[in-house]
């Protein structure tokens, strides 16, 4: 499992319609194949300056790669993320002491074995 | 729900016995009352320089406060975190669009109502 997270601030005013529209638009990311446990989060620690976060999980690097190149992700980054995000940091996690696990795909395990 | 996370690097050499000992010592945090879903994580994104992460969840701010002042947490910060951690950032999340929920404590809901 790889947990992909990004913590960020927007250029929009706090509580603005533009802020709400951006956060709503991000729902499309949850529908991209391979994305699991998608979460939209509010960052609440006073120890950093970020306001929001997204978190999602992938079964393995292949699923993560598929997300990165998916047209809906590419379009979201180009049309919303780049113009509307002021600052961000990506943090990705895997459980400590384990490597990302290859899960056999429905229909056969040949793909997992071939890697 | 409040998810408390911290991403960090250690002063120890990668793969060293000191690194393993620090990570093992952190298990005590999982046993502190109020800590849920404690995770020890490896940070794997090349887009930041942190190596590890801890993540835990609290039902509400009261549980989080109780963790912060718990003697086992205070001792871990003093005896392990401060001397052994080179750099870190705390990021705390709540689900977007919801405030942290007060959950009635066993034995009655008066405490939740009184807040």
Class for the domain spanning A2-98: alpha beta
Tokens 């002042």 locate to: B69
Query: For the segment A22-63, what is each residue's pLDDT rounded down to a tens digit?
Result: 999 999 999 999 999 999 999 999 999 999 999 999 999 999
- Rounded to the nearest 5 percent, the helix, strand and coil shares of chain B are 35, 30, 30
Comparing C-alpha atoms, which of A93, A92, A81 is closest to residue A52?
Answer: A81
Cβ-count burial A85-102 (b if 16+ within 10 Å, e if not):
beebbebbbbeeeeebeb
Q: Which helix (H) or strand (E) holds A61?
A: helix A61-69
For chain B, percent of residues with pLDDT exceeding 70? 83
What ipTM describes this predicted complex? Answer: 0.83
CB contact under 8 Å between B93 and A40, yes or no, is no
CB contact under 8 Å between B96 and A23, yes or no, is yes
Of A23, A39, A95, the CB nearest to B41: A95
For chain B, percent of residues with pLDDT exceeding 90? 83
Domain boundaries defined on chain B = 2-97
**What topology does CATH give the domain B2-97?**
Alpha-Beta Plaits (3.30.70)
Comparing C-alpha atoms, which of A43, A89, A47 is closest to residue B92?
Answer: A43
CA dihedral (A44, A46, A48, A54) in degrees, to 10, reads 0
What is the C-alpha end-to-end distance of chain B, expressed in Å? 16
Tokens of A13: 């005013």
- A36 vs A102: which has the higher pLDDT: A36
Q: Residue A84: what pLDDT? A: 98
Of B42, B53, B91, the CB nearest to A43: B91
Query: For the segment A61-95, what is each residue's pLDDT rounded down to a tens digit?
Result: 999 999 999 999 999 999 999 999 999 999 999 99
Interface check A41 vs B, CB under 8 A:
yes
Tokens of B9: 């690097």
Residues of A in contact with B7 (CB under 8 A): 91
Q: Which helix (H) or strand (E) holds A39?
A: strand A36-43
For residue B111, pLDDT beyond 90: no
CB contact under 8 Å between A91 and B7, yes or no, is yes
Residues of A in contact with B89 (CB under 8 A): 47-48
Interface check A104 vs B, CB under 8 A:
no
Tokens 């093992």 locate to: B24
Q: Flag whether the pTM goes above 0.90.
A: no
For residue A100, pLDDT beyond 50: no
For residue A110, pLDDT beyond 60: no
For residue B101, pLDDT beyond 50: no
């Amino acid at each position: 499992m790889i947990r992909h997270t990004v913590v960020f601030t927007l250029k929009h005013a706090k509580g603005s319609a533009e802020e709400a529209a951006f956060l709503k638009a991000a729902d499309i990311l949850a529908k991209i194949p391979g994305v699991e446990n998608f979460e939209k989060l509010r960052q609440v620690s006073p120890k950093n300056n970020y306001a929001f976060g997204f978190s999602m999980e992938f079964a393995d690097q292949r699923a993560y790669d598929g997300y990165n190149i998916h047209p809906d992700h590419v379009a979201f980054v180009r049309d919303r993320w780049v113009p509307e995000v002021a600052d961000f940091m990506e943090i990705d996690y895997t459980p400590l002491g384990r490597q990302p696990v290859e899960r056999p795909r429905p229909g056969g395990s040949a793909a997992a074995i071939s890697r």
